[in-house]
Structure 1
Amino acid sequence: MDVRRADERYRGGDPAAGIESLHAFSFGPHYDPDNLRFGAVIACNEEHLAPGAGFDEHPHSHTEIVTWVVEGELTHRDTAGHESVVGPGDVQRLSSAGGVRHIERNDGDTPLLFVQMWLAPLEPGGDPAYEVVHGIADSTPYAVPEAAAILHVRRLAPGERTAVPDAPFVYAHVVRGEVLLDSWVLSPGDAARITDAKDLEAVARDGAELLFWEMA
């Protein structure tokens, strides 16, 4: 288990434009050849957007982009004609495939915080695809077969336990609350990269929200 703390993330974005980005993996000018990916995950970014702030139209290709909104609402538009507003509890996925451009903005009047995770597909190319699952339940895994990965969302009451998926690779990200994972105490923004996970549990020390990526 390789634990990475929130304060170890690379800082990016454009604070003057109301954008603060915290990157868990090598990203942009923060090149680190020893921190390029874990399993299929190649990025896990915490994005803070002030009201009216956002990312202008930009391209993606050969990447599965999964977004989890923590607070506020995210407006998405892309060149394939998709437009939606994504809120807390919704899972958004943009399969950029052979190439697509999109816009991400905070068109609301309150701050926006979301976690965006990029996964490498098993095969490049194909046609872009997009979907939003509104109000995903804890008991409903979200599969991304293009990357041989499954997202598990766990919302835990104080003292509640949840099993960590048994898998060759598990990436765990704490969204909120404090969690005991094996012998580690994890706080918001902390993450654990687990290889050959088996018979592990996470215990909420207070109310907590966790994201697990189960990867083959």
Structure 2
Amino acid sequence: MDVRRAGERYRGGDPAAGIESLHSFSFGPHYAPDNLRFGALIACNEERLAPGAGFDEHRHSHTEIVTWVVEGELTHRDSTGRTSVIGPGGLQHLSAAGGVRHTERNEGTIPLTFVQMWLAPLEPGGFPAYEAVPALAGSTRYAVPEAGALLHVRRLEARDRTAVPDAPYVYVHVVRGEMLLGGQRLGPGDAARITGGGGLEAEVLRDAELLMWEMGAG
């Protein structure tokens, strides 16, 4: 188990424009050749947008983009004509496939925080697709078959325990709260990268929200 602390993440974005970004992997101008990906996961960004701030239209291709909204509302528009507004506890999945353009903005009146995760698809090409899930229950699985991955969402109370998936690659991201995992204490923004970790269990110390990726060997 390789634990990466919140304070170790690369800070990006454009603070003057109301955009603060925290990157867990090599990203943009921050090139880290030893931190390009883990399993299918190639990015895990925490984005904080002030009211009125956002990302203007830009292009993606050959990437599965899954976004989890923590606070505020995320307005999404893309070149396929889709528009959605996702609030806390909601998820969106943009399959960029052969290419798509989109915008992401905070058109609300309060700050917006979301966690955006990029995964490499098993096969390139295809046609773009989009799905919005306005609200997920506290114990839910969301499949991204294009990347051979499964996202486990867990909302847990203090003293709860939850099993960590048994898979070639498991990525655990703590959205909020605290827990013990493999003898290590993890807090908000911390992450654990696990290989060959069958039988692991997380013990919640303070009410927590976890995102856990279960990924194959590729």
The alignment's TM-score, normalised by the length of structure 2, stands at 0.98
Written as runs of structure 1 = structure 2, the 5 A alignment for 1:1-216 is 1-216=1-216
- Cα distance, 1:137 vs structure 2: 1.7
How far residue 102 of structure 1 moved from its aligned partner, in angstroms, is 0.2
Give 1:196 deviation, angstroms: 1.4
Q: Partner of 2:168: helix, strand, or coil? A: strand
Contact kept, 8 Å, 1:138 with 1:152, in 2: the verdict is no
Partner Cα distance (1:143, 1:134) in 2: 16
Distance 1:51 1:23 in 2: 21
Alpha-carbon distance, 1:90 to partner: 1.0
Matched position secondary structure for 2:192: strand
Deviation at 1:89, TM superposition (A): 1.1
For residues 133 and 74 of structure 2, what CA distance do their matches in structure 1 show? Answer: 14
Stretches of structure 1 lacking an aligned partner (at least 5 in a row): none
**For 1:175 and 1:136, how far apart are their aligned partners in 2?**
15
Is there any run of 5+ residues in structure 2 with no aligned partner, and where? none
User: Displacement of 1:138 after TM fit?
Assistant: 3.2
Q: How many residues align?
A: 216
Once residues 103 and 84 of structure 1 are traced to their aligned partners in structure 2, the CA distance between those partners, rounded to angstroms, is: 11
Contact in 2 for aligned 1:160/1:204 (Cα 8 Å)? yes
Kindly report the root-mean-square deviation, in angstroms, between the aligned alpha carbons of the 2 structures. Answer: 0.6
* Counterpart residue type for residue 164 of structure 1: V
- Tell me the TM-score normalized by structure 1: 0.99
C-alpha distance in 1, partners of 2:193/2:140?
22
Q: Secondary structure at the match of 1:75?
A: strand
Give, in angstroms, the shift of residue 119 of structure 1: 0.2
